[in-house]
Structure 1
Amino acid sequence: MAKPVKPNRYTEIIAEVFRKHYTPGDQRVRFERDEFVAAAKERNIELPKNLGDPIYSFKYRSSLPESIAETAAPGYEWGIYSIGKGKYEFKQVKPLSISPRDNQLVVKIPDATPEIISAYALGDEQALLAKVRYNRLIDIFLGITASSLQNHLRTTVRGIGQIEVDELYVGLDRNGCQYVVPVQAKGGRDKHGRQQTEQDIACCEQKFPALRCRPVSAQFITANKIAMFELALQDGEIRVVSEEHYELVPAASITDQDLALYATRKRPG
């Protein structure tokens, strides 16, 4: 018989903090990051060097432990939200599931990624952001002229605390309308996060109130195939506005038949 898998220390710490504060029926459960110290001592486990790592892990990469998940109401799940410096809350929300559609048409794009970038990009997220940037996929996807303003932007948002935007673009269209485009990049085990999109929108509304915010999420399908999603907040929920799949290929591999197919999709200007 297989031995039961021992929970890792992040799971034990977050479960202990939730257990301490949760009362059946709660929709929100507040806690502070400093409580991890007492939780680790209570469970007799080593404290993580960076107290923010467990928060990041459960926000964007890992599922919350079953002891927490099973307390959510039917049709809901728990998420962790920042509500101030070092302050957080578990909140019940409707599940967000964003994944590339299997039957989505794939548009071939001549690959403009410098080979030296492909050779030395550190990690899936960095490689993805670089390919999106060098191939001007934000411009192509949104139909605007966009420029990267800053990547891994760390800033503070009122009512939330410190956040990090994977990459921030600004751009404009033929009519002169200006845009701010927060991009979240998903590679490896990372999953699309409701919190990250909501935080990106709140950041743009506070920092760039005159610009139209168009959040984008990019995800590797394969090493050279990228899914792009434009997202929006509607009725308190994150919605997918549009989805496109792009494959970065040598220019010579794009056939006349490919171009004829793409011509049928051209939107009137």
Structure 2
Amino acid sequence: MGKPEKEAKLNRYSEIVGEVFRKNYKPGATSVPFEREQFLEAAVERGVALPKNLGDAIYSFKYRSSLPASIQATAPEGLEWGIYGAGRAKYEFRLERPLEIVPRLNQLVVKIPDATPEIIQAHALGDEQALLAKVRYNRLVDIFLGITASSLQNHLRTTVKGIGQIEIDELYVGLDRHGCQYVVPVQAKGGKDKHGRQQTEQDIACCREKFPGLVCRPVSAQFINPNKIAMFELALQDDEIRVVSEEHYELVTSASITPSDLAIYAGRGRV
């Protein structure tokens, strides 16, 4: 799909979501509930072609794109609107503090011998798939969290009480040297995708519901460039998403890792 076609689709989605918000919003509201069906009604009222996949229209604004300026203009200073699941086929616009998670420019880069099979590199479909594959084949979850982790399922679609249907990019389970077991939901951010508060919150809610006996450690991975990946461990503290730790990994040939690189890493390991 070319860029003009993508922009046209996003503009169409913006018209629809803007109309849904306008019809449900009341001044001073901190949440604005709506149902999936209203997207169909809004499309008809605005004379806009119906999206083939209503879920994609909602997904785009939940995880990929900012809501239209007409919606954000109603938010008080220091807050912004986001879309959250509120049950099966039910959603709500909700006021929230902006979440800014971006790779630090001065972060030390750890070079890792690239174990990604070349055939995977040649045929990965899209940034997200390429990122998940590189994280998996290079065992970056294990390295980052210091546990032994195995991929349980990718693109896990399930339902969570009070939220509705969700999708986790990839789900790992693992354990440490003491036998403590973990569940690690990973969200992958490629291209211009933004880190979403609601994705982390729903990943945590899903793990609490489906894996109550495991320790949940949410991770977000983001491409800095095709061979450099930023990894963030996230946590929910005081109803805010916080960054627990951040590391940058560069996938290189073994010959590219110098003795001085190894000396730096050895010093970190002794801390």
Q: What letter matches 1:265 in structure 2?
A: R
Answer yes or no: is 1:232 the counterpart of 2:235: yes
Structure 2 Cα separation of the partners of residues 188 and 110 of structure 1 = 23
Q: Which structure has greater helix proportion?
A: 2
Q: What letter matches 1:251 in structure 2?
A: S
CA drift of 1:82 comes to 0.2
Unaligned runs of 5+ in 2: 1-6
TM-score, normalised to structure 2's length? Answer: 0.96
Answer yes or no: is 1:111 the counterpart of 2:77: no
Q: What letter matches 2:245 in structure 1?
A: S
Answer yes or no: is 1:221 the counterpart of 2:224: yes
Match of 1:245 among 245, 248, 251: 248
Unaligned runs of 5+ in 1: none
Q: What letter matches 1:84 in structure 2?
A: G
Structure 1 Cα separation of the partners of residues 206 and 267 of structure 2 = 38
Structure 2 Cα separation of the partners of residues 175 and 53 of structure 1 = 42
CA drift of 1:54 comes to 1.4
The aligned residue for residue 174 of structure 2 is 171
CA drift of 1:189 comes to 2.2
How many correspondences in the alignment? 264
CA drift of 1:261 comes to 0.6
CA drift of 1:267 comes to 4.8
The aligned residue for residue 158 of structure 1 is 161
Percent of aligned pairs with the same residue?
A: 77
Structure 1 Cα separation of the partners of residues 132 and 11 of structure 2 = 30
Answer yes or no: is 1:57 the counterpart of 2:60: yes
Q: What letter matches 1:211 in structure 2?
A: L
The aligned residue for residue 190 of structure 1 is 193
Structure 2 Cα separation of the partners of residues 72 and 36 of structure 1 = 22
Describe how 1:9-88 pairs up with structure 2 within 5 A: 9-88=12-91
The aligned residue for residue 4 of structure 2 is none
The aligned residue for residue 261 of structure 1 is 264
Per-residue Cα deviation, 1:129-164 (whole angstroms, up to 9, x for no partner)? 000000000000000000000000001101101100
SS in 1 for 2:82: strand
Say if 1:139 and 1:95 are closer, same or farther in 2 by CA, change over 3 A.
same
Match of 2:202 among 199, 204, 215: 199
TM-score, normalised to structure 1's length? Answer: 0.96
Structure 2 Cα separation of the partners of residues 205 and 9 of structure 1 = 36
